[in-house]
Each structure stands twice: as structure tokens, then as C-alpha cells.
């Protein structure tokens, strides 16, 4: 059977005893796996982008809680919850924007509160982490179908950053829609922004699509305007790291500019994200914390300085696209067209 690469690419795995992460800093030329045994190691791996991508960060954090529980039970079985608090705080401090991280930690914390004292919690917490992982992949496949149903056949699509198996539990969000649309013959080609400064597009998205034998052309972000002006794109399809209650969406830096270009050129704009990415506590995009990363990511390339000595850098990792520039938000619970506070609340079953 011709299994696709996405069935085999797993950024995050549980080996039976350890959390195993594919080191995405080394891709596409080296596939190196790291086996982690503690929550602090897991937090460093998230901070340093060994693993990245909002849903993948959430799944990883859930396994980090399992590692913390195993050590806490060994160290102080009578007070295992208290013994885990420092680890949970360390995981929460690893990266600020992807709300999936905090959703996963809150979800695991609520389970911890329900578990009995005097019993090793590790096995129950592991079952829940594996359930989070499984549900993410199932949700991605559903979003793939829902998003593909919005795409008319014929034209290429443009995507930004990496939103595939490497950014999730598997299959992908925006790249999952692209995989499903390609499988249905709806899109002939994918254009992918290289996505400076971390190059998730040229290093990760291109790597995933080449393995799936889906035709992909990389472009510098600056070329996106001309590509849209030539009328070659039907949709811009991106992921998200946090979506506010009114539909404003935080995503990789450069997404906001794409949304403005898309609206100017009559190209539709799709955000694909599981509901674990929606933060109903954030009224609008101004409430979303934007991670500022080190200047060396802009000043250097592959660890070698390319910028003029003496130059500084500004390196926000994300920006916010206002809801009015988004034509559709695709989630595993359904599609919200022209998102606003009211239809987002309906999607989330919140009281309006
Ligand atoms: C499937 S959402 C992935 C999301 O995360 C990326 O950011 P980073 O690589 O810094 O974790 C980017 O915003 C993607 O859209």
C-alpha cells in the first residue's frame, strides 16, 4: 500500500519509557531524535524549538507532565502534586504565544486534581497525554476534509511557515487541508513561503511535501505579492498559534502581511487550527502575547553572521491578523466564515 510520508513523520513520540522528539533544528538534512526524561528538558526543547508548532507544543507539554509525575512519585509519593508544581511552571514558561501549551497544562492539571492520593498517577496521566495526541491527529484529518471542501479546483495555493506533521501530532492543520485537497485533485501545486528567519517553509514544509510527492515551489516572502498579482493563487492557507474570541489570529510573523495582500488581490484567506488554539479569554488580538526571539536568528544564517557588524535586529516570532481579513477559520468542530465574536462563540458553545 502506498502509505504517505505524513503517516510516518512523527515530531513527537512516546517510546514506552521516554518522550522522543525529532530535532527540527537539524532538518531537512539530518533526522536526529532526542530522548527526554524530565519536564525541564522538555521545556528547554520547546524553548529552543527542537519541537515547534502550536499543537505539537501542546502534545509535547502533556508528555512533559507525565515525565514530571514519574519523578515526583519516586521522590515524594505522599505529596506528588506539590512536587510537580515547579515542573508545570517551567513548562508554562517555555514559549508564550501558542495557547495549546497552556490548554494542555490546564487539561493535565485538572486530571491531576481528580486522581486519588496515594496512587502513582503516571499511568493515568500517560493515557491522557496519548489521548490528546490521538485526538489532535483525528482532528487534523477532519479539518483536512472541511478545509478541502472550500477549495474550487484548478489553482495553486500559498502557505506560510510549517503547519504539517512536524507542527502537530500528525498530518497537519493548514498542510493537512493542502494534503487532503491535493489527494482530491483540487490543487495542482503548492507555493510555500521560506518563512524567515527560522525557515520553517524551506526546511520543514518543503521537506514534508517532497516526501508526499506534492509539487512545491518555495518563494521569498517578498515575492508573495507578485504571485498573487499574477492571479495564480486561489487561497492563502495558514495555521495559528492563538485565536482570540473575536477571530483575530496570531500566527508566524509575515502572516498579517499575506492577509492584507490577499484581500487586495481578491485571494481568499483560510486559517486552520484545532479548537485547542482558540483562547476565549482573549477578547481580541491585542490580548495575545507575542514572543520576541533572539536577534541572532535574524543576524545569522545557519549559525554564521550574515548581517553587517554593528547592525541590530527586531525579531517578533508572530503577528496578529484581524478577523475581518480572514475568510474562513477551519476547526475540527466546523468552519466559521467571516469570523466575529458571535460566530466564534457559537462554534465554542460559549454563551453570547
Ligand atoms: C500548526 S500551527 C503551527 C504554527 O506554529 C508556527 O510557529 P513556530 O514554528 O514558531 O512554533 C507557525 O506560527 C505555524 O503556523
Q: CATH no. for residue 267?
A: 3.40.50.10470
Of 94, 116, 138, the domain-final residue: 138
pLDDT digits 0-9 by tens, 125-141:
999 999 999 999 999 99
Q: Is 52 annotated as a binding residue?
A: yes
What's residue 259's pLDDT?
98
Average pLDDT over the chain, rounded to whole? 96
Distance CA 65, CA 269 (A): 36
Above 70 in pLDDT, residue 68? yes
The dihedral built from the CA positions of residue 131, 134, 138 and 139, taken in this order, carries a sign that is: positive
In a domain, 103, yes or no: yes
Q: Say whether 161 sits in a helix, a strand or coil.
A: coil
In a domain, 7, yes or no: no
Q: Is 56 annotated as a binding residue?
A: no
What's residue 238's pLDDT?
99
Instruction: Let me know: does 306 contact 269? Beta carbons within 8 Å.
Output: no
What's residue 4's pLDDT?
60
pTM comes to 0.97
pLDDT digits 0-9 by tens, 172-188:
999 999 999 999 999 99
Distance CA 283, CA 232 (A): 35
Catalytic residue selected from 212, 241, 248, 319: 241
Of 77, 105, 138, the domain-final residue: 138
Confirm whether 327 is a catalytic residue: no
Q: Are residues 177 and 130 in the same domain?
A: no
Q: Are residues 254 and 330 in the same domain?
A: yes
In a domain, 3, yes or no: no
pLDDT digits 0-9 by tens, 278-327:
999 999 999 999 999 999 999 999 999 999 999 999 999 999 999 999 99
Q: Are residues 152 and 132 in the same domain?
A: no
What's residue 178's pLDDT?
98
Mean pLDDT of 9-24: 96
Q: Are residues 219 and 323 in the same domain?
A: yes
In three state form, how does the secondary structure of 204-239 look? HHHHHHHHCCCCEEEECHHHHHHHHHCCCEEEEEEC
What's residue 9's pLDDT?
86
Residue 201 CA, ligand 1 centroid: distance in Å: 10
What's residue 295's pLDDT?
98
Ligand 1 atom at minimal distance to the Cα of residue 175: 1
Q: Where are the strands (E) in the chain, listed by range? A: 12-14, 19-22, 33-36, 156-159, 190-193, 216-219, 233-238, 242-244, 249-252, 268-272, 278-279, 300-301, 304-305, 318-321, 328-331, 334-337
Residue 62 CA, ligand 1 centroid: distance in Å: 18
pLDDT digits 0-9 by tens, 77-122:
999 999 999 999 999 999 999 999 999 999 999 999 999 999 999 9
Distance CA 172, CA 165 (A): 5
Q: Are residues 155 and 251 in the same domain?
A: yes
**How many folded domains does the chain comprise?**
2
Q: Are residues 130 and 162 in the same domain?
A: no
Q: Are residues 65 and 158 in the same domain?
A: no
Q: Are residues 166 and 224 in the same domain?
A: yes
Q: Are residues 96 and 164 in the same domain?
A: no
Of 116, 138, 160, the domain-final residue: 138
In sequence order, the 6+-apart residues with CB closer than 8 A to the CB of 119 are none
If residue 107 lies in a helix (H) or strand (E), which one and from where to where? helix 99-114
Distance CA 329, CA 322 (A): 12
Q: Are residues 108 and 231 in the same domain?
A: no
Strands 278-279 and 242-244: parallel
Q: Are residues 130 and 175 in the same domain?
A: no
Q: Which residues line ligand 1 (CB under 6 A)?
A: 52-55, 161, 163, 167-168, 173, 200, 238-239, 241, 251-252, 317
Residue 252 CA, ligand 1 centroid: distance in Å: 6
Q: Are residues 124 and 178 in the same domain?
A: no
In a domain, 2, yes or no: no
CATH number at residue 94: 1.20.120.420
Shortest-distance Cα residue to atom 7 of ligand 1: 53
In a domain, 5, yes or no: no
In three state form, how does the secondary structure of 267-325 look? CEEEEECCHHHEECCCCCHHHCCCCECCCHHHHEECCEECCCCCCCCCCECEEEECHHH
Q: Is 53 annotated as a binding residue?
A: yes
The dihedral built from the CA positions of residue 154, 160, 163 and 164, taken in this order, carries a sign that is: positive
Domain ranges, residue 188: 148-348
Torsion-angle region of residue 252: left (phi > 0), alpha (psi -120 to 50) or beta?
A: beta
Above 60 in pLDDT, residue 2? no
In a domain, 276, yes or no: yes
Burial class (CB in 10 A: 0-12, 13-18, 19+), 321: buried
Q: What ipTM describes this predicted complex? A: 0.97
Amino acid at each position: 500500500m502506498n502509505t504517505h510520508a505524513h503517516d510516518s513523520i512523527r515530531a513527537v513520540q512516546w517510546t514506552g519509557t521516554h518522550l522522543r522528539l525529532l530535532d527540527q533544528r537539524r532538518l531537512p538534512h539530518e533526522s536526529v531524535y532526542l530522548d527526554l526524561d524530565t519536564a525541564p528538558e522538555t521545556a528547554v526543547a520547546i524553548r529552543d524549538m527542537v519541537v515547534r508548532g502550536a499543537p505539537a507544543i501542546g502534545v509535547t507539554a502533556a508528555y512533559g507532565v507525565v515525565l514530571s509525575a514519574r519523578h515526583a512519585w519516586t521522590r515524594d509519593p505522599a505529596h506528588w502534586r506539590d512536587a510537580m508544581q515547579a515542573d508545570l511552571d517551567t513548562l508554562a514558561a517555555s514559549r508564550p504565544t501558542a495557547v495549546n501549551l497552556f490548554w494542555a497544562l490546564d487539561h493535565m492539571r485538572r486530571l491531576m486534581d481528580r486522581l486519588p492520593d496515594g496512587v502513582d498517577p503516571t499511568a493515568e496521566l500517560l493515557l491522557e497525554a496519548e489521548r490528546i495526541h490521538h485526538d489532535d491527529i483525528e482532528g487534523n484529518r477532519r479539518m483536512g476534509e472541511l478545509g478541502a471542501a472550500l477549495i474550487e479546483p484548478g489553482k495553486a495555493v500559498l502557505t506560510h511557515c510549517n503547519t504539517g506533521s512536524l507542527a502537530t501530532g500528525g498530518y497537519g492543520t493548514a498542510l493537512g487541508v493542502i494534503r487532503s485537497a491535493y489527494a482530491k485533485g483540487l490543487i495542482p501545486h503548492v507555493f510555500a513561503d521560506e518563512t524567515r528567519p527560522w525557515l520553517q517553509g524551506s526546511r520543514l514544509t518543503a521537506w514534508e511535501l517532497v516526501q508526499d510527492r506534492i509539487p512545491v515551489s518555495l518563494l521569498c516572502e517578498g515575492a508573495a505579492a507578485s504571485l498573487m498579482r499574477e492571479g495564480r493563487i486561489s487561497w492563502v492557507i495558514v495555521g495559528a498559534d492563538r485565536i482570540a474570541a473575536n477571530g483575530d489570529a496570531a500566527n508566524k510573523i509575515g502572516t498579517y502581511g499575506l492577509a492584507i495582500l490577499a484581500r487586495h488581490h481578491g485571494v481568499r484567506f483560510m486559517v486552520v487550527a484545532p479548537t485547542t488554539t482558540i483562547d476565549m479569554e482573549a477578547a481580541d488580538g491585542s490580548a495575545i502575547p507575542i514572543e520576541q526571539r533572539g536577534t541572532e536568528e535574524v543576524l545569522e544564517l545557519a549559525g554564521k553572521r550574515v548581517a553587517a557588524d554593528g547592525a541590530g535586529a527586531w525579531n517578533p516570532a508572530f503577528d496578529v491578523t484581524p478577523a475581518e481579513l480572514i475568510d474562513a477559520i477551519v476547526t475540527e468542530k466546523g468552519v466559521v466564515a467571516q469570523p466575529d465574536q458571535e460566530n466564534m462563540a457559537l462554534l465554542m458553545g460559549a454563551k453570547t
